[in-house]
Amino acid sequence: MSGRAPIIILVLFACVLVAGMVASSFFVGDAVGQEKAEYKGSSKCKGCHKSQYTAWTEMKHSKAFESLKPEQVAGGKDDKGRTCVQCHTTGHGMGGFTSVEATPKLVNVGCESCHGAGGTHVDTMLAAMMDETEVTDKHIRRSISCVQCHNPHISYKKLYGGE
């Protein structure tokens, strides 16, 4: 019996490792194909996710860009050298927000700020609703960590004075 113990432990370890890898694929990283997906804007999410959209409109995230001062929009930087618009818009520097004029649908911190660009999700779900394809799209998951913007080490008082 003692000769089997190392084998049993090795098999159990392998099972735990595989289970962890499978579980993490559902909760970490971008959905398959999402890396090059187009940013659609939160208003596109509203069509299918009404209650989530309504909840978002009541959050400060939905008005994040409005909180910036003109000098912050013009290129103000935080302690890590990021421009302020990176954290107050959706997808800046990742194929999303470029300017208020060019990408107005991506002003503010929208759904895709946390869930990643929704282009493939929207296209896949629309095709499925029209019964053109089998749904293979996984749920869109977080693509970034909250601490990329919500960082306690950033001193906004030091940068801009006041609040």
Backbone angles phi, psi at 83, to 5 degrees: -75, 155
Q: Give the 3-state DSSP-derived string for the chain, with helices as H, strands as E and coil as C.
A: CCCCHHHHHHHHHHHHHHHHHHHHHHHCCCCCCHHHCCCCCHHHHHCCCHHHHHHHHCCHHHHHHHHCCHHHHCCCECCCCCECHHHHECCCCCCCCCCCCCCHHHECCCHHHHHCCCHHHHHHHHHHHCCCCCCCCCCCCCCCCHHHCCCCCCCHHHHHCCC
What is the residue extent of each domain of the chain?
1-30, 32-160
Q: What is the pLDDT of residues 3-36, one digit of tens each?
A: 777 777 767 666 655 555 444 444 334 444 455 7
Say whether pLDDT at 1 is over 70: no
Q: What is the pLDDT of residues 95-154, one digit of tens each?
A: 899 989 999 999 999 999 888 888 888 777 777 767 655 555 555 555 566 777 877 666
73 confidence band (pLDDT: 50, 70, 90): confident
